[in-house]
Amino acid sequence: MQLIRITILVAIVLAPTAHADTEFVSKIQVYADSDHTQVVSPVVQARSDVAPGTNVNVGYLVDAVSSASVDVVSQASARTIKDTRHQLSTGLSQQLDTFNVRGAYSYSRENDYLSHTLDVGVQDELNDKNTAIGLGYTISLDTVSRANDMNFARDLRVHHVAASLTQTINPRLIGQVTYELGYAQGYQASPYRFVPVRMTVESPPELWVAETDPDTRYRHALVIGANQAVGEASSLQGDYRIYRDTWGIWSHTIGVRYFAHISKRIELRLRERFYTQTRASFYQEVYSTTAKYMVFDRELSTLWSETLGAKLEYTFGSHIVGELKLDGFYYNYANFAPLSSRTGVNVGLGLLLTY
């Protein structure tokens, strides 16, 4: 509660000095799925132009999680996990002629996880602002622990680099290409997951072994997207992402979003996302003997998912915008024995104040 008060106070303090505009956002999101996981996430954010070309922002997020997911709860670790994550973030961006330079920091803490994240980036606009080149770098310094175990602490370092090219093709069409490179080093398993060793899926486990992942992971992704104006007040966005990592996973993602201004006060967004991936090279549905790498993680199995969603924004006045969002999703796991599929919803409600 103290951090929420601080965030609101910063928003109020920034308002009188704003040279362009100041925004305050308050949202709450509720997630629930058929695998006995629920997450409630309130968030508050404030953003202000404190000087010509200078923008600052602060935010505070809470994730209240309750989960009895089958990939966590096993005969070796039977429990319902409840935890609360708190995240405080702040950022600054500065316009320097055609360059925009940004930096941000976030601090996240929960019962068994601590994270410090630093993000920096630069974007240059060329060709009368018809072309934009961007480059960004993010590093996360994380510590993974285990509840009620003072002797368990593991480090994880995650680096991410993204380079993008955005091009105005004509007055109604914009295209973008982005390449992403990620590198993770350290503990990447779950301290709560244990892997059953057995001859078949139906056989009772002979023993349970703590989950082990490789210590390093390189990720590569290429994203191609476009934004096309449709009619006088609508637009259609689409993107395709291909991904490959050194754990042997290939994935493909197709996303489509349609924005329609139904009236001066109402905007509707519809979205669809299809995702499919292969399993990790060391992933097995059944481990009949112990191995160097053993996992019980459905996210490393062969899977595909479909997400459909809608968001409605209503402008109450010149300074107030309300938001209502609903997403529904389905995941199918081809070779994860405890769970063949799951469904769920994401419901969000928000309010944006501008002054």
For 35-59, write each residue's pLDDT tens digit.
999 999 999 999 999 999 999 999 9
The model's confidence at residue 134, banded by pLDDT at 50, 70 and 90, is: very high
The model's confidence at residue 318, banded by pLDDT at 50, 70 and 90, is: confident
Indicate if the pLDDT at residue 348 is higher than 70. Answer: yes
317-329: average pLDDT: 95
Does residue 77 contact residue 193 with C-beta atoms inside 8 Å? yes
Q: Which of 8, 1, 2, 39 is nearest to 24 (CA)?
A: 8
Indicate if the pLDDT at residue 16 is higher than 60. Answer: no
109-123: average pLDDT: 97
Whole-number CA gyration radius for the chain: 23
The model's confidence at residue 330, banded by pLDDT at 50, 70 and 90, is: very high
3-32: average pLDDT: 61
Q: What distance in Å separates the CA atoms of residue 186 and residue 145, rounded to the nearest whole number?
A: 13
76-93: average pLDDT: 85
Indicate if the pLDDT at residue 106 is higher than 90. Answer: yes
Does residue 178 contact residue 269 with C-beta atoms inside 8 Å? no
Share of the chain above pLDDT 70, in %: 92
Q: What is the phi/psi pair of residue 42, to 5°?
A: -80, 145
Q: Tell me, what's the pLDDT at 4?
A: 39
Which domains does the chain carry?
95-354 (2.40.160.40)
Q: Tell me, what's the pLDDT at 15?
A: 38
Q: Tell me, what's the pLDDT at 77?
A: 52
In eight-state DSSP terms, residue 16 is G
82-100: average pLDDT: 95
The model's pLDDT over 183-202, given as tens digits with 9 standing for 90+, comes to 999 999 999 899 999 999 99
Q: Judge residue 59's burial from the number of C-beta atoms within 10 Å of its C-beta, 0-12 exposed, 13-18 middle, 19 or more buried.
A: buried
3-state secondary structure at position 271: strand
Does residue 252 contact residue 221 with C-beta atoms inside 8 Å? no
Q: What distance in Å separates the CA atoms of residue 309 and residue 255, rounded to the nearest whole number?
A: 11
Chain center to CA of 222: 17
Q: Please, which residues have CB within 8 angstroms of residue 275's CB and are 6 or more apart in sequence?
A: 251, 252, 253, 254, 304, 305, 306, 307
**Tokens encoding 35:** 């695998």
- Which helix (H) or strand (E) segment holds residue 13: the answer is helix 2-14
Does residue 177 contact residue 163 with C-beta atoms inside 8 Å? no
The model's pLDDT over 273-299, given as tens digits with 9 standing for 90+, comes to 999 999 999 999 999 999 999 999 999
Q: What distance in Å separates the CA atoms of residue 157 and residue 116, rounded to the nearest whole number?
A: 10
Give 298's Cβ-side CA count (13 Å radius): 20
Does residue 184 contact residue 161 with C-beta atoms inside 8 Å? no
